Amino acid sequence: MPPICGRDARSLSAPHRDRIHQTLAIVDDNPDRFDSTLSMTETWATIPASSKSLPSISIGDPVRVLLINPAMNMKKLGRFAGLLEPMPCIGLAYIAAALEHHGCFVRALDMFADKLSGDDVVEKTVAFQPDMVGMTVLTPSAPICAEISAQIRARLPNVKIVWGAVHADVFARDIVRDGEADFCIHHDGEETICELVDALTEGNDADLEKVDGITWKNSSGEVFTNKDRKLNRDLDSLPYPAWHLFPYHRYGLLPFADFAKPVLTMTGSRGCPYRCDYCSLINTGGKVYRKRDPIKIVDEYEYLVDRYGVKQIGFVDPIFPLVKKDLEPFCKELVARGLDEKCQWLSETRADRLDADTARIMYEGGCRRVLMGIESGSDLLLGNVNKNITTAKVREGVANAKAAGIQTVGLFMIGMPGETPEMTRETVEFAVDLDVDFAKFAITVPFPGSKLFDDRWQKDLFRDDWENYTTFNPDPDRLIYHPEGYDPDELIKMQSWALRRFYMRPKQIKRQMLELQTISPKMLLYGLYGMAI
């Protein structure tokens, strides 16, 4: 395999630097994102002190890497596309930081936030002339990623294309075999991508064979999956995500999670000890729970507030906090530094992790909203997907959060295995009775990597029209999954009814009008969209 050739951006001619800058400049609020003359030492502040001693390659002749956060096909969502916000892609930001620390010259494009078409992405890629292009590939965006990759390869035949994230992890051999990407990265990618850069600089198959955690094709056209990389258990050694490369001022979270901007995301841990059948995390590197030092989490929290003026931080851990002994020092330190007043936070958690004392500590530490994966109002259905929780525990957790002053967002699934229309109604009425502040009713989708998908794969019932793997789908013909005996058209209508039933109640309308300063205006569309069917 031919080596990649790094080029020192500082040695480019002034006209060429100007052309790159003019072509790639997208947002006024963060103009240095695409400044080709920016010294890489200027990004050193994004690296925590604990990792500044890590070895890195010389920056004399840096490899040029362009990272792309693709968008899905919004047309497939129909009216529901209006509910989406561009969200921070923290995984890609971690990769960007690792590459910068390794001495690479890195830039990033975010299709949704930057309002770019696929053609726009290709043109900006060609203008930047990267040695490597990296994409984070989720299932609904896989077709767009394949299309963009093919166009980039046609224009830049020597560029190396690397895919990561869940979809790339699950279908790595097919992706590499079909030439959609040259490499797929499995699980944690920070160390892997840096070792891959080094191996490609040498350009030998023997070097690539030593890179753990990749699927690739050798010079003879054979596809190999190298041994798994050991999971990083020292998460605090990683550089902070390189948000300076992304349009962070444009980011939001879910419409019901936006109570202040600018907003960015953090992780206090990786992995999850639970084994829910619908979750793809456990089969893609998330089986081992690893946590960060609570004080170092606060260090990064403070950095985001000081560096980016962040007013809200969303923790994207599957469950945060998981244990109270880590929560207490975290919240105490936030208060000690006055960060609970400067920037509020939210997280996703399980209702059975929220006892009264935990909820109180969270509120005192600046938490104002929690997202709870409640899923269903039927204990039978919760058991069917191995949720390991009861509706009684859900009631208790929601009550504890509300008593502490924390707003609650209930995340519900409809069309679960074994579900009937009557059970769907039971779930919606459960949401109303819980009186959660906001609710999301998502149609169940067996995402690749989950046990639900694996079960359908084994029975040859899966579908590979990936862009239809969405939880809001207005077209019954494109519905990926529906329980046996549950008519697809009825399931689509039931989702709309759920939105109407929850959001068009006088009590809920009044609540949202009072919360207009703390939620996205798009929240007002939820009930209206439910009336469209």
- With residue 161 as reference, give the H or E element that holds it: strand 160-164
C-alpha 12/C-alpha 72 separation (Å) is 35
Q: What is the DSSP letter of 189?
A: -
Q: Which CATH number does 252-530 carry?
A: 3.20.20.70
What pLDDT sits at residue 105? 98
C-alpha 315 chain-centroid distance:
11
What pLDDT sits at residue 299? 99
Domains of the chain, residue spans: 9-225, 252-530
Q: To which residue do tokens 């569309």 refer?
A: 525
What pLDDT sits at residue 317? 95
Whether the Cβ atoms of residue 81 and residue 24 lie closer than 8 Å to each other:
no
Q: What predicted TM-score, i.e. pTM, was given to this entire model?
A: 0.89
Residues 6 or more apart in contact with residue 361 via CB below 8 angstroms? 324, 327, 328, 331
C-alpha 481/C-alpha 375 separation (Å) is 16
Residues 6 or more apart in contact with residue 455 via CB below 8 angstroms? 446
What pLDDT sits at residue 512? 79
What pLDDT sits at residue 259? 66
Nearest 5°: phi and psi at 343? -150, 125
Write the Ramachandran bin of 180: left for phi over 0, alpha for psi from -120 to 50, otherwise beta.
Answer: alpha
Burial of 237 (0-12, 13-18, 19+ CB in 10 A): middle
C-alpha 455/C-alpha 511 separation (Å) is 41
pLDDT tens for the chain, 533 residues long, are 666 655 433 333 333 334 333 334 433 345 456 543 333 333 333 444 444 333 333 334 699 999 999 998 777 666 666 777 899 999 999 999 999 999 999 999 999 999 999 999 999 999 999 999 999 999 999 999 999 999 999 999 999 999 999 999 999 999 999 999 999 999 999 999 999 999 998 878 999 999 999 999 999 999 999 999 999 999 999 999 999 999 999 998 876 666 678 999 999 999 999 999 999 987 666 778 999 999 999 999 999 999 999 999 999 999 998 989 999 999 999 999 999 999 999 999 999 999 999 999 999 999 999 999 999 999 999 999 999 999 999 999 999 999 999 999 999 999 999 999 999 999 999 999 999 999 999 999 999 999 999 998 878 777 889 999 988 877 888 899 999 999 999 999 999 999 999 999 999 888 878 776 666 666 666 665 555 44
Q: CA nearest 240: which of 301, 326, 281? A: 301
Q: Which CATH number does 9-225 carry?
A: 3.40.50.280
